[in-house]
Each structure stands twice: as structure tokens, then as C-alpha cells.
Structure 1
Amino acid sequence: MLANTPRNPGMPLALDLVEGARANLSAVERRAASLPARRSVKKAWQAAWLVRAIGLIDLTTLAGDDTPARVARLCAKARRPLRPDLTEALGLKAAPTTGAVCVYPTMVAPAVAALAGSGIPVASVATGFPAGLMPLPLRLAEIRYAVAEGAREIDIVITRAHVLGQDWQALYDEIVQMREACGEAHLKAILATGDLKSLRNVHKASMVAMMAGADFIKTSTGKEGVNATLPVGLVMCRAIRAYGEVTGHKVGFKPAGGIASAKEALTWMSLMKEELGNDWLQPDLFRFGASSLLTDIERQIEHFVTGRYSAASHHAIA
């Protein structure tokens, strides 16, 4: 991850940039609604975009009944997400792999073992996922545990109360400590945007997380009532752009929760291309947090190759 993109070093908390955030809800919604209505890629172009989308997926299992065997099966799918006959039919020189595998901290070691030699990084949620309502020392200890187990990416959750109470210094200080606990592992800050009540809060929280050194900002845990939405994604992309204009640093973006169809993936990729540019169509700077998206992408690619749709069970992950 971020092999070709320098890490975000962060910057001192600049409250003027945070408090100056504005978000016109109706304008944001109109812009977001225009994306699926205007943007459409067909035939070979669509197949190419979908192959690219595979490499952007953080293939995820965050279930209470996860086992090392389930994680091993997920990792096998991450190594070979597209059936060999489809890879051959598309004329791909190399079979694609997913961007990462994302698991709970206790499942990191089995995932690392299952992915040995593949180059696919293991991402771990941490800091009391999904609510984050644990004492800060315990959340930092969980980060260190996941890193020690071999996680190369850490998806942290913020304290929503800091955003709702507009306590930006507390939010900044918290994420700075989490970034330090990550060491060489990259930090993705989950904002849980469905809990933040307004687009202005989303923009402000995005700016503070980036100032504190987040390498990625991420919409959701997937456990909130409302997860990744295009209006929220647009606001977060604009925050990334604003931060880049001030600092010159590139920060990644990860929508997560509820993205299950190839069509949705193409819409999100269009958003990235239009708002941030082609660099954000690479796994260095863009990921999908998803568990079922890969199945539909594979079905759509098979339709392109054969002209027929197959049952989802023909492309089972586990």
C-alpha cells in the first residue's frame, strides 16, 4: 500500500481551516446524483474498469464467528479473485489480486500466514471497532497488538463525541497518538459519517484526521445505520483536495459499507477520477471496503466474456 506515494506526515492543527468548512447540501446532492446518471462505461471499457476495481478492494470479514479457516478461504480468494478461465479470456498478462484483506486483530496472524509470499497486505480494524468506546490506552494497545501480529494497515475508529462536541483538539490529539502507535503501518481513519449528523461535520472531521497524519480517510465501519453515500464521499474528496492544496500531500480515500454491486463501484471510481484525478484510481490512494462486491464484479466480467449471467454461488468467496 502507498508504495509509490509518500506517507502523509500531517501538520499542526489549524482551526481556521477546520472551522471554515462549508457544505451546501442541495448542491452536493445534485452533484452526487449526476454521477450515476452521466457516467457509464460499456463493453471492453467496463471490463477493464472492473478488473481495476478488483485491485482496489479491501476484501473484508468482520463477523463475530470468524475463524482462522474462514480467513484462510478469504485469503485464497484475495490471491485469485478472478477465475483462471476469465483471466485467460480477458488476455491479462498477470492475474489480479485484491488490494488487501481486512480482519479483526485476532485474525491478523492467520491472514498473514495465508497470504505469505503474495504481496497482499493485511489490514486490521482496531481501537474498539466499531464503536470506539474504549479507554484510549486500550485502543492504542490494540493497535500495537495488530501491528505486532503483522498488520501493515490499521483501520482506526474515531471518538464521534469529539466531532459532535466540536472538540477538534481532542480529536487531533487522539489520532496523533494512534498514528504513533501504528509505527510503519499505514493508518486509515474511519469517520463513521453516518453518526456525524451533517456534511459540515464530515468535512471538519476529515480535515482534522488528515492534519493528525491519517494516510487514508474512510467513510464508515459498515455497522452504522447509514454507511457510504455519494454525497458524503464527495465532501470527503473535496476535503482531500483542500488539504492537498495547503500541504502538497496526497491522502487516500476508502468508502465502506453497503457497496455491493459492480455498477456502484464504477460510480465511485468515476467520482474519484473527476474530483481527484487518475492517481486516485490506484490502490495507493483508493480502496473499497467490501465483502460481497467482488462476487458481482466477477459475475459482470463473466457476462462480458460469455454473454451469460451466472449464479452468485458460482463465484463464492468462502
Structure 2
Amino acid sequence: MAAADLAEVRARALAVLGGEPDDATLRRYLHGIPGVDAVGLEQRAASLATRSIKTSSKAWALDRIVSLIDLTTLEGADTPGKVRSLVAKAVSPDPSDPSTPRVAAVCVYGDLVGVARDALGAAHGDPDDGLVAVAAVATAFPSGRASLAVKLADTADAVAAGADEIDMVIDRGAFLAGRYGEVFEQIAAVRAACERADGTRASLKVILETGELHSYDNVRRASWLAILAGGDFIKTSTGKVSPAATLPVTLSMLEVVRDWHRLTGQRIGVKPAGGIRTSKDAIRYLVTVAETAGEEWLTPHLFRFGASSLANDVLLQRQKLRTGHYSGADYVTID
């Protein structure tokens, strides 16, 4: 199944590119994509940020945000106890309200995947079914500065430990130097390393680290490159670089997945990560997703928030809404 899956990815890339995914072909294709109108993109993002939601949609929006969050701990001082506490919050975000949805996933370093899996127990599974997945960062996260052999071993270890999702980082130096073929082959190889012994595979999120790409044009090109190479998700950031996720950058990435779907019929996920801290901001992202890619993207297998601190604000707003003690100023404009 692994070989067939990779062959399908390569065949799709060949069909889109019209040739082998080497530097020359990829450069011709990626630089042939129309440039981003930065002013227009930012104006569009600003306009979407002012869209209102109906009063009846407030509770739905807050619950949906919770269900799309990847709770994350990616610190050198992480311990099994800290991961177990994170898992407890993922499974029961608000112990005072059992109706609170579970989050989509917990994201940890590869050596703590087993701890997260064990702690989840029966709550582990597909987030589209209301369960919690385990994601692991890999490929020398966050820098990506390692040999391909090390990156593949990092990925394989996390998958063998039980990771459902792998968050890899692209080699930004190679991308910015125009070595597109190298970046393509690394992503494709990591995708192959996501295969399990039983023939299934972990989902692959490709982190672009948009804060280091310098331009919307580069964000668009990197998004296309990651999808061509087989990424299941494109993700803005590691959370270790500023700026991280922004609405204009996420809008640009959503436009790419929309265009890819129109071209191939395949749906690719998007994950803005870092810097999204309030319910008000998160609702703006929901509106942008619905208006750009479509409402069908508002599910865990197609959209995620990489924003652990966001969960605290969303839970506070849910409590205020449930008890009747909240201020409309806490939300985007309500019709």
C-alpha cells in the first residue's frame, strides 16, 4: 500500500506539473503561478474579519473551535506528567460542563507519543468521531536542520510509537535557495515514512514556517509545493518563530487548497498555528475558511487550530454564554 500511495502522489504531481518534479520543472510551475496581490489579500482578510455571525451561531462556533484545536506542549522541559495533564484537558476541556466537545488532538514530541496514547485510553481515535488523535512533531522540529536520514528516522520512531499525525517542517533554507526538487523529495519521503506496518499511515501536516518565507508569493509557492509532494495538511508555523499565523497568510493558503480541489478533486487541510489566542480571532478564521474553501472544511480532518492558549478563552466564553453572564464585546459583531 505504501508504494501504491506514493505512486499515486507522484502521478498526480506529474499530471499537474507536466514533467518530473525536479528543480527546473517545479521552478517553472511555481513561478508561473500568478503573483499575490498583497494589498488585495490583506483587504480581503480585513473584510472577512468584520463579518458578523448570528446570535444563534455563537454556541455552535465556540463548540466547533474547541473541536478543531490541537492542544500542544513542545518544550524541552516536557515530562510525562505534563503530557498526562494535557491529555486530561483534551478529553475533558471543561469538567464543569460534560457537553463541552473534546479537542481534535494533542501534539507532543515523538518520545512522548506513547505516554499520550496510554493516557487517552478509550478516548483515543478519529477526531471526526469525537475522539482525540495524537500528533507528533518530527523532522528535526523546529529548525528542520538535519539530514534526510535523521528526519526519516525521527518520523518512523513517532509513527512506530503510535502517532496518528506527523507535523513535519520543510527545509526553509532549501526552499528559499530555489532547491524545490529537494524540498519535494523530502516531503514525499517523509510521507512514505508515515506508513505503518499494517499498510495504513499517519496523516502528514507540512509546516511551512511562513514567518521565515518573507512574502505572500513564497507562502503560495510553498503551499503548492507541499501539496504536490503529498502533504495532507499545510500548516503555517511551528509556533517558535514570529510572526506565526496571520489571517492574510491563512487566507492565501486556503485559496491554494480551494484551487487544488478545483483542479484535482482532492481536499487538503489547513492549520494556522501560533498567535491565535481569543475566541473573537478564532471566529474570524472560521468565517474565512467557510467563505474561501467552503463550510465542508470546518471539520477536524480539514482544519485545525494550533493554539493551546486559545482553548482557555473559548472555554471562558462558553461558560459566560451558558450562565448568561457575558458581554457581547467578547465576540465578533452579532446580527
Q: TM-score, normalised by structure 1?
A: 0.89
1:19 and 2:31 aligned: yes
Deviations 1:165-202 (A, max 9, x none): 12211111110101001110010000000000111111
Aligned counterpart, 1:224? 241
Unaligned runs of 5+ in 1: 1-7, 311-318
The farther-off stretch of 162-171 and 289-298 is: 162-171
Deviations 1:11-46 (A, max 9, x none): 325235422221010000100111222x12254411
Using the alignment, how far apart are the partners of 1:302 and 1:17 within structure 2?
50
Is 1:33 aligned to residue 53 of structure 2? no
Provide the residue aligned with 1:278 in structure 2.
295
Q: Pick from 170, 185, 198: which aligns with 2:182?
A: 170
Percent identity between the two aligned chains: 46
Distance in structure 2 (CA, Å) of the matches to 1:309 and 1:108: 38
Measured after TM superposition, the shift of residue 309 of structure 1 is 5.9
Alpha-carbon distance in 2 for matches of 1:59, 1:254? 13
Deviation at 1:63, TM superposition (A): 1.4
In structure 2, the residue corresponding to 1:134 is in which secondary structure? Answer: coil
Q: Which of 263, 272, 276 is residue 280 of structure 2 equivalent to? A: 263
Q: Are residue 62 (structure 1) and residue 47 (structure 2) matched?
A: no
Native 8 Å contact 1:56 1:286 kept in 2: yes
* Equivalent-residue separation in structure 2 for 1:308 and 1:136 (angstroms): 54
1:5 matched residue in structure 2: none
Partner of 1:299, secondary structure, is: helix
Provide TM-score, normalisation by structure 2. 0.85
Q: After superposition, where does 1:1-318 map in structure 2 within 5 Å? A: 9=9, 11-12=12-13, 14=17, 15=26, 16-21=28-33, 22-37=35-50, 39-41=51-53, 43-85=55-97, 87=98, 92=99, 95-118=100-123, 119=125, 120-183=132-195, 184-308=201-325
Distance in 2 (alpha carbons) for counterparts of 1:40 and 1:109: 42
- 1:4 is aligned to none
Letter in 1 for 2:13: P
For residue 314 of structure 2, give the secondary structure of its aligned residue in structure 1.
helix
* Deviation for aligned residue 1:84: 3.7
Q: Distance in 2 between matches of 1:40 and 1:302?
A: 21
Q: Secondary structure at the match of 1:116?
A: helix
1:190-249 Cα distance to aligned partner (Å, 9 max, x none): 000000011111111110110110000000000112100111111111111121122111
Give the corresponding residue for 2:198.
Answer: none
SS at the partner of 1:233? Answer: helix
Deviations along 1:109-141, one digit per CA (max 9) or x if unpaired, are: 100100121121100000011111011110110
Query: Which stretches in structure 2 are left out of the alignment for 5+ residues?
Result: 1-7, 18-25, 126-131, 196-200, 328-335
